[in-house]
Amino acid sequence: MFEFGKNIFLGLDVGTSSIKIAEISVIGDKAILTNYAWMPIEGLARKDGYNSSFFDVALPKHIKRIVSESGLKGKNTYVSIPAFGGLVTLIDFPQMSKEDIGQAIKFEAHKYIPISLDEVAISWDIVGEEKGGGKGDKIQVLLVAASKNKVVKYENLVKNSGLKLKSIEIEIFSMANSLIGNDNGTFLIIDIGSRVCNIILVSRGLIIANRNIDSGGNDLTKTIANAMKIDDGRAESLKISTRNFFSRESSISFPSLEIITGEASRLIESSVRNGRISKIDAVILSGGSSKLAGIVEYISKNLGVKAIIGNPLGRVGYDKRLSPLLDNIKNQFSVCIGLALKGAEEYINGKK
């Protein structure tokens, strides 16, 4: 019998303020965005209580509703874990066999993981090799770790939502997949979410460093609200309007952006100093707050690197008649598009 929907993949991104789902279908060996859905959950969380029962019972109910009402056809689901819920780090080792690396990883992981390794799911990949020039060859290993309890939590979320889990990954990988893919060069992604900002350094398609900052779009909104003495709703509307709060006429300063650019600058400097990179080719902005007028110029000026708005749709096809609508929301869908795209890429590569 034929397996219906085997070429359709869902990317599920459960953020702190909303649920986002992208549906990508493989049509003629091409990844096509065929549907998407979005639902705010901050108000629902306050109503139902943001606790384990909300995640285990209420949230699956809301996801089922989204899938049903938006007409999503796929079941094969790729879901992300928030970056602050996992660990991603690059470690240098002397040249050794894969068997020895496995043992070395367990020993080295204790330096980065403050809890028992029995409570953590760990994966690793060799991502680079370096000739030592007489000092011994080195290999670079990317270590990824997440709490087993958190992994099980997301496994149950997908199952309870009536979907079929295919993969769980930390969201920064999904983001890099949609915004950069395998592009050559070195890029810094600054993703400003509602509560958290992810800063991700990607070189030749590989994540080599990342930072998570407890500061995001909500802080920008509150800064505008306090400066202009207006409510948060009005401030949010102004934030996503064409008003430029970075112009000479504006007297508003954004401490949260100063924190973000400061951390981004330190990450770049340390990566150059330790020889991981030589320079940054571009800064890629993502998240809803990347629509803030003037923020591209602000980031470019403060980091001394060209900044651009990321395009998570650059690697998928879609109905161009939807462009005006998608242009307004696409920067909030980089994670779920990257997740679904992973499924499509695995399917395409498996067929060839």
| HEC secondary structure over the chain | CCCCCCCEEEEEEECCCEEEEEEEEEECCEEEEEEEEEEECHHHHHHHCCCHHHHHHHHHHHHHHHHHHHCCCCCEEEEEECHHHEEEEEEEEECCCHHHHHHHHHHHHCCCCCCCHHHEEEEEEEEEEECCCCCCCEEEEEEEEEEHHHHHHHHHHHHHCCCEEEEEEEHHHHHHHHHCCCCCCEEEEEEECCCCEEEEEEECCEEEEEEEECCCHHHHHHHHHHHHCCCHHHHHHHHCCCCCCCCCCCCCCCHHHHHHHHHHHHHHHHHHHCCCCCCCCEEEEECHHHHCCCHHHHHHHHHCCCEEECCCCCCCECCHHHHHHHHHHHHHCHHHHHHHHHHHHHHHHHHC
Range name among 90-99, 171-180, 216-225, 272-281 with the lowest pLDDT average: 90-99
d(CA 27, CA 36): 17
Across 253-277, average pLDDT: 94
Range name among 108-122, 154-168, 246-260 with the lowest pLDDT average: 108-122
109 in Cβ contact with 122 (< 8 Å): yes
To the nearest whole percent, how much of the chain has pLDDT over 70? Answer: 93
How much is the mean pLDDT over the chain? 89
Q: How far is CA 174 from CA 91, 135, 145, 146, in A?
A: 21, 36, 16, 16
To the nearest whole percent, how much of the chain has pLDDT over 90? Answer: 61
Across 138-167, average pLDDT: 93
| pLDDT of residue 189 exceeding 90 | yes
Q: What is the CATH number of domain 200-309?
A: 3.30.420.40
Quote the pLDDT of residue 308: 96
Quote the pLDDT of residue 49: 46
Under the banding of pLDDT at 50, 70 and 90, the label for residue 342 is very high
| pLDDT of residue 79 exceeding 50 | yes
Portions of the chain given CATH number 3.30.420.40:
8-84+148-182+311-351, 200-309
| pLDDT of residue 262 exceeding 90 | yes
| pLDDT of residue 260 exceeding 60 | yes
Question: pTM of the entire structure?
Answer: 0.90
| pLDDT of residue 244 exceeding 80 | yes
Which residues in 136-151 are b (16+ Cβ under 10 Å) and which e? eeebbbbbbbbbeebb
The second-level CATH assignment, the architecture, of 8-84+148-182+311-351 is 2-Layer Sandwich (3.30)
The vertex-350 CA angle with 346 and 352, nearest 5°, equals: 125
CATH entry, 85-147, from 3.40.50.300, 1.10.10.10, 3.30.1490.300, 3.40.30.10: 3.30.1490.300
Quote the pLDDT of residue 2: 43
Range name among 211-215, 255-259, 285-289, 325-329 with the lowest pLDDT average: 325-329
Across 242-251, average pLDDT: 88
| pLDDT of residue 34 exceeding 90 | yes
d(CA 127, CA 223): 41
Quote the pLDDT of residue 316: 96
